[in-house]
Each structure stands twice: as structure tokens, then as C-alpha cells.
Structure 1
Amino acid sequence: MEIQDESKWFKKRWLLILGVIFLAFNLRPAITAVGPLIATIQKSLGINNLEAGLLTTIPLIAFAVLSPLVAKFSRRWGNEKTLFLALLILTAGIFIRYSHQLGFLYAGTLIIGSGIAVMNVLLPSVIKSDFPKRIGLMTSIYTTAMCAMAGLASGVSVPLAEGAGLGWEKAMASWGFLAIIGIALWIPQLKANKTNSSNQAAAYPHPSIWKSRTAWHISLFFGFQSFVFYCLIAWLPAILLSKGMDESTAGWMLLFVQIIGLPSTFFAPIIASKLKKMGTSIVVIGLLNLLGFGGLILFYQAGLLVTSVAMIGLSTGGSISIAYMIISTKAKDHQQAAELSGMAQAAGYFLAAFGPVLLGFTFDQTNRWLEPILLILLVNTFMVLAGTHALRSQAKIN
């Protein structure tokens, strides 16, 4: 009987599920495709490291600045129309960035970050609104889709640019076709959107989310796990090189840490939603980080270093999907989910933007990776404390 019910549910919602998956597919490739091509872009345009670094920093700044504003757009136009507009903005940004002029490259990157910021915030709201009884499962599906496509984009950027002979401009622009597919799949949801925007605004009685202690715990958890992840992405190869790993293998470890985390990304919300004390999942994630980063301090053997990286991958993979699940689970309704998501992601990407810089500064002062890794472990402790407080059964949002 349960299987039949699941089958009926899927047949009824398959188009929306597919739309959500393709929204998730578009959350990261336009950003993660840039990193592997940075050296090529620098050589082609003759720009310095600071100018090149802005190509990866600008989207994070857009996330932090725009995320708190997205709920207002949603209350006015509804989730479906706002997400459709975000897909259009993302597509425009990708093709505007198809230029050999630095000004257009920056402008397109800013527009891309703006479109993704809206989708980042509203997907948990869609899950809360349309899948209230399957929050864990749907969060697993879309966060896994997001992370898988992010890893794929970073992995195929250089082969597309060099192996396929597209060059860096066309290689980055090619992700626009993924956005176009997302637009096509989201059009049916515009017809399904029956919520009147003025009624939405009138039916929003919640006090400011920024006054809620639980909302701050959720935001800090999102922020600290983002801090750990982006520090990892920025500095893992350098840490492994200092341990004697060769340059090629250290570079591959960056892709490995994202791939190995995919099972954790998928299963963590499902498992956490079935636990009597969901905070246990946060403690497990924190312990994996502790063991993984502890291994990066203690070990020099390649096999043990790879094992340490795998533990970190499982931890960071699970933490991002649980962060999104907490938002959908704790919010009272889809509008509060949008408000909470905007707050959490503003804090998250603000911290994420400063994390790699802080670690780099610490390394410059000490000339070794012990202190930067200890800093990550300190943040990991804060992450566990914030997450367990947010997931307490009595923790409510005002």
C-alpha cells in the first residue's frame, strides 16, 4: 500500500520534482566552472590575481547582500514567478559574461550571483510549501543534484575549454543551455501558481525573523558550515602539498572531497529526519570533521591523508544538506522558510567570504598549516553547538 501511495505521489508531482532538480542543477555550475579556468583567463586578459579573484568573490558578495531581500520578492510575486525570473536573470548573466572585456565579465558574474541568490533562498521555501511531508527526501534530492553538478562543472571546465577547443569564453557560456532547460521545465509551474501575491503579503503575521534566537542558531550553523567548506575548497591542495603529496594528486583531491560527500549529502537529511534527536546528526558531522582535519595535522602517509580527506568530504557533504533541511523543518510556513533562508544564507556567505582570507592571513603569520587547521576545528566546534541548539525539539521560531 505504501509503495502504491508513493507511486501515486510521484506521478502527480513528477514535473515539479524535475523542475526542482533542474533549479538545483543551476545553483553552482556558473560559479564552479570558473575556478579551474582562472589561470587561462588571467593569461588571456592580462589581469592580476586580485582582479581574477573577484570572479569567485563577487557571487558570494551577491549572495550575502541579496539573500535577506528575496523573501520580499516572494511575498509580492509568489515563489514560482520569482524563481522563473531568477532563471532568466541567471541565463542573461551567463551570456553577458561571454565577452573578452573585463567589465562585461564582472557584470555578468554579478548578475549570475544575483539570480542564484534568489534560487538559493527560495528552494527551501518550495520544499516547505509543496512537500511538507517529505522535507528530508526532497532536501536530499535537490542538494545532491546541486553538489553533483557543481563537481561536474569544475571537472569538465578545462576539457571543454582545451580538449573540445571551445576556449574559456564558450566553455563558461555553455552552462547557459542548462539554465534554458531549467526555464522550460519551470514554465508549467507558472500556470500552477494559484497564490495571489497580495493575499500572501496580508497573510504574513510573523514577527521579524531577525529577533528569533532559534533563527540565529540556524544562521550561525549555516554560516559556520559554509566557512569550513569554502576554506577547504580554497586551501586543501596547499595543505596536502605541505604534507608531501604531489601537485597533481593534491589537485584531484579537491574533486574527490566533493564526490565522496555526495552519499552523505543525499542520506544525511533522510537519516536526521528519522532520529528522535536530530541534533545527533550534527554531532556525527562534527566528529567526522574533527577526525578528518586532525588527520591533516598528524599524518604524512598518502593513504591516511586520503582517508582524512574522505572523512571531511562526508562531513561537509552532510552539513550542507542538513543546513537546508533545518530551514524547511523549523519554519512555520513557506513564507517564513523564505525569510529564514534569506537570513541564514546572508550570514553563511558573509562568513564564507572571509574564511579563506582569514586562513591565508593566519598561514602568512605562522608559515605553517597547524594554526589555520586549528582555526577550522574551532569553527567546527561553534558549528556543532549552533546546530544542536537549532535542532532541539523545544527550539521554536517566533
Structure 2
Amino acid sequence: MLVWGLLVAAANLRASLTGVGPLLDQVQADLGLTPAVLGLLNTLPLLAFAALSPMVPRLAARWGSERLLGGALVVLTLGIAVRWTPSTVGLFAGTMLIGAGIAVGNVLLPSLIKRDFPTKVGLLTSAYATVMGGVAAVASGVAVPISEVAPGGWYTALGCWILTALVAVLLWLPQMRTAPPASRAVRGPHQLPWRSGLAWAVTAFMGLQSLGFYVVVTWLPQVFQDNGISAASAGWLLFLFQAVAVLTSLAVPGALRWAGDQRALATICSAIMLLGYLGLLVAPSLAVLWSIVLGLGGGACLVLALAFLGMRAQDAAGAGALSAMAQSIGYLLAAVGPVVFGLLHTVSSGWQAPLAFMCVAAAGQTVVSLVAGRGTVRSAEVREPDRALSVPESAPSPEH
């Protein structure tokens, strides 16, 4: 039940965001928003990730990880409901609530996996990343078809994901009832590891791959449409990108077991992302090819970024602290992506400058991966002990 609960929770961490990109033209036509403002639809959740992630370890220590994740799923469900209302205010207010719910889930899932399955971090990280990416891919592919046939149009296409959120809430209720009291939680040995160079490398890797993902899911359909592809076909090309990413993520656990460290794997996958952006820049008509290439690199980079949160940490508390740091600063960096991409398009009246920006970001990720793929963030690199994610007294230590 714990594994199923984690997987269904993961299924809700991207779908309500990735369905937005294929509908941007409809949103713009109905609400009269500029490209820069449209970029905020996927930037607002990232800002919520950045603002809330550092608070999650303290909140989990006070309320318990299980209860906090359950509350986050409720907030996510409420956000989808609010965004379903036909207004600009509802659209942006609901998006902020969705971002708040996802922010908590993003931090808690790697720590829960490290705590309860310390010997299967790579496998379960790949499993939840695959589920998360698979549902996100479906959300991208069906967004336009649902908007064309359902009452309410694009509002319903975004709001229908309330069903999967409700399922996640119901499936997680048993974990909330059986969670140990917060007072029994062991105080972890870590504050956020601001002094660790390795932690900063993991943070940069997380941020740059997230920047790429959210730029792609926000703007790739528009890039394709401006090159003569229909809105529905552009949505399915975004689905193709994410479907390939899901298949790629399935191969990552085997590669993690085979490799002594993850530097070569992370570098190769980052370089593949760079190749995809270069391809869109010089030969945008080969849309199918570049969707596949970006999916090959993006799926592996996502799993690696999530796996680094557990692999680079000494224990569950360290994983929670590293996760909070990497996702706060990393998503703040990622939040720049969709807005800058949209602004560059507006200023340059084309896609060459935005795609060149993504090439620079991918090159930076390739360099950072050489550091982020090896080592452990030591407790000695942290100034003082602090309360971290709650760990039951009976939970096995990493040495076990």
C-alpha cells in the first residue's frame, strides 16, 4: 500500500502542469494574455516550489511526512478545482495552489524512498519518475482533443485531472492513519547543506534539467505550430517527447547498477539534450526527430536528478535536506526558463534566440554533471544539527 500510494501520488506531480502547453493558444485567445504572461502559467508553480521546498523538512518534522503529503494532495486537488473556474483569477490562483501541493510532494517522495527503501533508491526513483512522466505525457497528448469535445473547452481539459488527485488522496489515507506521531520522530542531523560544493552541483543539475523540461512542455507546441504543424499534432509531439522520456527512464536503474558512479551517464544524457536543442535551432522541420532526441535525454536526466537526492545523501534526513535545497534553488532557476524563453521570442520575433538560450543551459548542465554524479554530502559540511524529515524510531538505518 505504501508503494502504491507513493506511485499514485507521483502520478499527480506533473499532469496538471504539462497539459497547459498544448492549450496556450486557446488560453491566449480566450483571455487575451501576452506570451510573457502565458509563460507565468508554468513559472508560478516553479516559484511555489522554490519558496516552499526549504520549509518542507521542518513541517515534516512537526506534522509527520505522511500527514504532510496527504495535506499536500488535498491542496493540489483544491487547486485543480479552482483552476477549473472560467476566469483569469481562477486560472492563476488555482495554478499557485497546484504548485504548493506539488512542491511538498517533490521534496517528500525522495526522502520517503530513502527512509523506507534505502537499498532500492534507484529502482523506486525510476518507478515513480516513470509513472509521473507517463501520466504527464498522456496529459499533453489528450489536452487538445478533450478541449475540442468536452463542455467548457480548455477549462475542462485542465480540470479533469481532479479525478486522479482524488484517487491519490483516498489511497494515501491509510498512511496518514498509521503514521507515527510527530513527537516520536528522530531529529535528523542536517540543515540544508549550503556549504557543500557537491550539494550545489546537484542543485544546479536539478535546476537546469527542470528549466529544460518546463520550457519544453510550455513552449515546444508553439515552436512546432509556428513551423506549420497543427495544434493537435503539436500536442501529440509533446506526448511523443514525454513517452520517449518515460521509456528512457525505465532503463536508468540498470545503468545505475552497472556504473560505478553517475558522471558519465549524466554527461552523456545532458549532451543529448544539447543535441536536441541544436537540432530545433538549425532544422526545426524535423520535429519528430528532435522530440525523440529530447525525450531520450530528458527522461534520463529527470531520473538522475531525483536519484541524486538520495544517492548523494548519507541518510533519510540528509536526503530531505538535500532535496529541499536542490528543489528550492533549482526550481527558482527553472522558473526563469519559460518567462525568458517567451520574452526572447517576443523581442526577437522568432525562435532562434530562445533556442540558443536553451543550448547554453544544456551546455552548462553537461559541465555540472561531471561533479554532481559522484560523492556524498557529508554531515560535517553542515553547520548545526536541525530537525529534518520525520523518521520513525523503528526505521532501519542506512548501515542496515
Q: Give the TM-score band, short-chain normalised.
A: 0.7 to 0.9
Q: Deviations over 1:342-377 (max 9, x none)?
A: 211112221222123333444555556455434323
- The TM-score normalised by the length of structure 2 is 0.85
The partner residue of 2:309 within 327, 330, 340 is 327
2:183 to 193, 198, 207: 198
**Larger relative contact order (CA 8 Å, sep ≥ 6):** 2
Select between 228-237 and 79-88 the one with higher mean Cα deviation: 228-237
Please name the residue that 1:219 is paired with: 203
Contact persistence 2:141–2:238 (CA under 8 A): no
Q: Contact 2:143–2:235 at 8 Å: present in 1 too?
A: no
Tell me, yes or no, if the aligned pair for 1:209 and 1:340 is still in contact at 8 Å. Answer: yes
Q: 1:376 to 1:396 in 2, by over 3 A?
A: farther
- Judged with a 3 Å threshold, the aligned counterparts in structure 2 of structure 1 residues 283 and 365 are, in CA distance, closer, same or farther, namely same
Runs of 5+ consecutive residues of structure 1 not aligned to the other structure: 1-14
The structure-2 alpha-carbon separation of the partners of 1:372 and 1:166, relative to structure 1 and needing over 3 Å to count, comes to closer
Partner of 2:395: none
Measured at CA, do residues 380 and 38 of structure 1 come closer, stay the same or move farther in structure 2, by a change above 3 Å? closer
Question: Could you tell me whether the CA contact under 8 Å between 1:45 and 1:100 is conserved in 2?
Answer: no
SS of equivalent to 2:190? coil
Q: CA RMSD in A?
A: 2.6
Whole-Å Cα distance in 2 between the matches of residues 95 and 236 of structure 1?
26
CA distance in 2, matches of 1:300, 1:40: 23
Structure 1 pair 102–331 and aligned structure 2 pair: CA distance change class (3 A): same
- AA at the equivalent of 1:375: F
User: Once structures 1 and 2 are overlaid, which stretch shifts more, 217-226 or 282-291?
Assistant: 282-291
- 1:357 is matched by which residue type in structure 2? V
Contact 2:147 2:157 in 1 (8 A): yes
Label 1:205 to 1:252 Cα distance change in 2 as closer, same or farther (>3 A). closer
| Cα distance change, pair 214–25 in 1 and its aligned pair in 2 (3 A) | same
What's the CA shift for 1:215? 1.1
1:114 match: 100
Task: Quote how far apart the aligned CAs of 1:318 are.
Answer: 0.8
Q: How far is the alpha carbon of 1:118 from its aligned partner?
A: 0.5
Report the equivalent of 2:78: 92
Unaligned 5+ residue runs, structure 2? 382-400
**Greater helix percent: which structure?**
1
The residue type paired with residue 329 of structure 1 is M
Residue number in structure 1 paired with 2:256: 272
Which among 289, 292, 296 is matched to residue 310 of structure 1?
292
Matches of 1:90 and 1:121, distance apart in 2: 15
CA distances 1:51-72 after superposition (whole Å, capped 9, x unpaired): 5544333222211111111111
**What is the DSSP-based 3-state SS (H/G/I as helix, E as strand, rest coil) of the residue aligned with 2:194?**
helix
Offset of residue 339 of structure 1: 1.9
User: Kindly tell me: are residues 108 and 375 of structure 1, through their superposed partners in 2, closer, same or farther at Cα, counting changes over 3 Å?
Assistant: closer
Q: Choose from 11, 18, 31 the match for 1:25.
A: 11
Question: What is the CA-CA distance between 1:247 and the residue it aligns to?
Answer: 4.2
- 2:60 equivalent in structure 1: 74
